[in-house]
Amino acid sequence: MASGAHHVKVAVIGGGISGLAATYRLQRAGYDVQCLESAQRAGGKITSERADGFLVEHGPNGFLSSRTAVLRLARDVGLGDRILAADESAKYRYLVGSKGLQRLPTSPPNFLLNSVLSVAGRMRILREPFIKGRVGGGDESIYDFAVRRFGVEAAERLFDPMVTGIHAGDIRRLSLSACFPAIASMEAQHGSVIKGLIARKKAAAAAGPTSKPLLTSFQGGMADLVDGCVGVLGSRSVQLGRAVSRLERVGESQWRVHANQGEPLLVDHVVMTTPADVSARLVAEHSPIAGDRLTGIDYAPAAVVALGYRAERIANPLPGFGYLAPSSEKRDVLGVLWSSQIFTDRAPNGHLLFRAIVGGAHRPELVSMNQADLCSMVAAELSFAFGSQLNEPDFSKVIYWPQGIPQYRVGHQQRIDEIRDALGELKGLHVAGNAIVGVSVAECIGHAETIPELLKTGQRLMQGA
């Protein structure tokens, strides 16, 4: 039990993975913590649904094993024997173009021979170490950065689909420093991304042998992690069906949390891990500026369309993780994961499961389509990609996320700084979650590890955003 944590009461608002991880770490550090979740189940967008022998992820598909905070949490809640590494073939990834699927290069030598980019496009990338670094200036979009350092072709053919696969966003509007701070720091420290990658590889080699990062999940899907946290924390620590209606300030250092189905909680700290609009509503009474800045964080809508087929219906099955669609190709999907090839037990024997993401910042209108039309549209995309007749799937499932992935647009870090400054005089009131600290499961869980110490030392949770 951490020194100074005795008798300090904390309310965590929101029972997604950010809230669950924060609750677990705070409880381990000796805080008296309760997590209030408005829904009747915890986990937020993390749901793993078993239907007709298929396992469909509603949200995140996995995480990289190099993100050790996720593995620590999994092992701490008793999931060590349920950790599942992806199949070796998941290293192969593709882009879809006018002629079908093209495999992306898997190594620098392979890159020089790969036709995803033209010869001129590949030569332009090789010039990157000799391009002068940016001096001064404010925030920069991912597109502007990519064009400046790697050229237009690489920006449109490589950076665009990469960003689509993570953020479902528009690279002309998203902030490089907020979305990919490591890439921004490579240029700042080494004057070049390629030089930064070489330096990182040398440092890793000097540190000794390490295992290669692998895409990782759990035997029962990502929901295993949610269930593990809830099971260890118990019903007092994770309270479901308790939507928070108001935060009342009590004196200079306490808060009364009003939520349905129970008495208000009097606490020393409130940690909000809710979507930005919910956090905005709760803080606006106490800080209109913070409420306004939180309201300005937009989300890209998305629909998950999972389609299952008998394996013999795929005329050209390819090993791999899946494919992405550059926005310039004007396809009707952002990308498709080959779920049953990535992880075992995602489809019945003799069947394949594909999971497409539709909508995003480029095509938000597609998320309003009905389920039948979405399935037909995705089936047509798969038919084109695989050169097979796949218009009538043997299994289908559609999940809608009108408020999908938070968009870290140019100026996002300034927005976060303004929120932090606006909350500065409100002792004990904190904002976290994937709208603030990073969109991935790994970033949210990694940030949760820092929360006990940040509360102990009186720092804002957004210190590391």
Residue 453: CATH number of its domain: 3.50.50.60
Q: What confidence tens digit (pLDDT) does each residue in 301-345 have?
A: 999 999 999 999 998 789 999 999 999 999 999 999 999 999 999
Query: 242 with 289, same domain?
Result: yes
Q: Is residue 91 part of a domain?
A: no
- Which H or E element spans position 162? helix 160-167
- 225 with 200, same domain: the answer is no
Q: Please state the rounded mean pLDDT for residues 353-360.
A: 98
**Across 439-465, average pLDDT:** 85
Partnered with residue 339 across adjacent β-strands are none
pLDDT higher than 90, residue 429: yes
Q: Which of 150, 180, 206 is the last residue of a domain?
A: 206
In a domain, 80, yes or no: no
Answer yes or no: do 186 and 277 share one domain: no
Which tokens belong to 51? 């239907």
339 with 417, same domain: the answer is: no
- Asked if residue 19 is part of any domain, the answer here is yes
Residue 267 in tokens = 């606490």
Residue 127, domain member (yes or no): yes
Q: Give mean pLDDT, residues 287-314.
A: 97
For helices 193-206 and 181-190, what crossing angle results, to 10°? 90
In a domain, 304, yes or no: yes
Question: Do 122 and 188 belong to one domain?
Answer: yes
Contacts of 435 (CB under 8 A, 6+ apart): 275, 276, 279, 294, 297, 406
DSSP assignment, residue 88? G
Residue 315 placed within a domain:
yes
Q: What pLDDT digit, counting tens, does each position of 224-242 carry?
A: 999 999 999 999 999 999 9
Percentage of residues of the chain with pLDDT beyond 70: 98
The CATH number of residue 396's host domain is 3.90.660.20
pLDDT, residue 393, reads: 97
In this structure, the answer to whether residues 169 and 157 fall within a common structural domain is yes
Q: Are residues 273 and 326 in the same domain?
A: no
Give the pLDDT score at 5.
65
Two tokens, residue 426: 């409100």
Is the predicted pLDDT of residue 3 greater than 80, yes or no?
no
What is the number of structural domains in the chain? 3
The least confident of 49-53, 206-210, 318-322 is: 206-210
| Domain extent for 121 | 117-206
CATH (domain of 130): 1.10.3110.10
344 lies in the same domain as 382: yes
Instruction: Please spell the DSSP secondary structure of 311-374, one letter per residue.
Output: GGG-SS---SSEEE--GGG--S-SEEE-HHHHSTTSS-TTEEEEEEEEETTT-GGGGGS-HHHH
Mean pLDDT for the stretch of residues 5-27: 94
Question: Does one domain contain both 287 and 303?
Answer: no
Based on the fold, state whether residues 397 and 322 are members of the same structural domain: yes
pTM of the model: 0.93
- How sure is the predictor about 111, in pLDDT bands with cuts at 50, 70 and 90? confident
Indicate whether 290 and 200 sit together in one domain.
Answer: no
Residue 78 lies in a domain: no
**What is the spatial distance between Cα 259 and Cα 243, in angstroms, rounded to a whole number?**
5
15 inside domain: yes
Q: What is the DSSP letter of 81?
A: G
Decide which of 406, 434, 456 is a domain's last residue. 406
Mean pLDDT along residues 176-195: 95
> How many Cβ atoms from other residues are within 10 Å of residue 199's Cβ?
14
Same domain, 287 and 421: yes
Q: Give residue 452's pLDDT.
A: 96
- CA–CA gap between residue 381 and residue 211 (Å, rounded): 36
Q: What is the mean pLDDT of residues 175-180?
A: 97
Tell me the pLDDT of the chain averaged across its residues. 94
Write down which residue in 406, 423, 456 finishes a domain. Answer: 406
Can you give the pLDDT at residue 4?
Answer: 54
pLDDT, mean of residues 134-140: 85
